[in-house]
Chain A
Amino acid sequence: MNIDTSERQQPWPQRSLLFVVIVLLAIAAVIVLATAPFATLIGPSAYALSGALHGMFAFLLMVVVTIGLYVAWSLFVGRLKAFSDLQLITTVMATLAFLTIVFGNWVYIAYRANTPDSPRSYFLAKMPDVHKVFFEFKEYVALFTLPLSVAAAYIVWRYGKQILERDWTRTAVAILVALHFFYFVMAFGLGAAVTKLKAV
Chain B
Amino acid sequence: MSTEGSTKVPNGAAVAAFLAVAIGSLVLAIVAFACDLSKPFEQVVFGIGKLWMPGAAHIGPYSGKETLGLAAWLVSWIVLHFVLRKRQLVH
Contact = CB atoms under 8 A, between A and B. Distances in A.
A161 interface: yes
B11 A169 contact: yes
Contacts, number: 72
A148 B20 CA distance: 10
Given A105-B59, A147-B24, A159 B14 contact: yes
B85 to A, nearest CB: 10
Interface in A154-200: 154-155, 158-162, 164-169, 172, 176
B55 to A, nearest CB: 6
Interface in B19-49: 20-21, 24-25, 28-29, 32
A160 B28 CA distance: 31
Interface stretch (A2-10, A55-63, A136-144): A136-144
Interface of B: 1, 3, 6, 8-9, 11, 13-15, 17-18, 20-21, 24-25, 28-29, 32, 53, 55, 58-60, 62-63, 65-66, 69, 73, 90-91
Interface of A: 83, 105-106, 108-109, 112-113, 139-140, 143-144, 147-148, 151, 154-155, 158-162, 164-169, 172, 176
Given A112-B58, A155-B17, A169-B14, 19 more contacts: A105-B63, A106-B55, A109-B55, A140-B29, A140-B32, A143-B69, A144-B28, A147-B24, A147-B73, A155-B14, A155-B18, A158-B9, A158-B13, A159-B11, A162-B9, A167-B91, A168-B11, A172-B18, A176-B21
